[in-house]
Amino acid sequence: MKSKMMGCVIVALIMGFGVPAWAGHGYKGECPMMDGPHHGKGFGPMGMLKGLDLTSEQQAKVDSLMEQHKGEIRSMDDKVEASRKALHEAIHSDVFDEQKIREASKSLAVNKEEMDVLRGRIFAEIRTVLTPEQAAQLKEMKKMHQERMKCHEKCGKMMEE
């Protein structure tokens, strides 16, 4: 038990201090999480756009699209967050209420679905701004992002063992 705890402490220290050092010094390991030309460009799809070297005209169009949707995004973010909080509270309530948990879970699912549709709509609009080369580059960046996520999952599973 002690050795397992010590192993977790060591891994936590390595993750806290070692990973940022590797990320800044071109670590080339088996995990694509720390590899590749797009590492450190920012999180998620908006961060990926930064790696496309958009022209000032393209950037202005993307900024305009995001500004147009800002209210919708904020509203959906608030709804999803409120749904998450309600589900968390239902799950951790002093009194078990299955119906309340189911309702909160369904509410969260509906709100996440609406957020996903909004994201899809916005990115469909953004893709019209990109050149065919940039669109191909974005697809490759998304593929790399998915590989990083798989690596994160793998690392998480290793931590659980």
Residue range 79-104, pLDDT digits in tens: 999 999 999 999 999 999 999 999 99
Max mean pLDDT among 60-69, 96-105, 137-146, 150-159 falls in 96-105
The two three-digit tokens of residue 3, written as one number: 């050795």
- Residue with the bigger pLDDT between 14 and 112: it is 112
Q: pLDDT value at position 143? A: 86
Neighbours of 61 (CB within 10 A): 17
Q: Is 48:41 a contact under the CB 8 Å cutoff?
A: yes
Higher pLDDT, 90 or 135: 90
CA torsion angle for 78, 84, 86, 90 (degrees, to 10)? Answer: 180
Helix extents (H) in 92-131:
98-127
pLDDT at residue number 52: 83
Residues 53-80, mean pLDDT to the nearest whole number: 94
Average pLDDT, the chain: 77
Cα(70)–Cα(48) distance, integer angstroms: 19
At residue 37 the predicted structure's pLDDT band, cuts being 50, 70 and 90, is very low
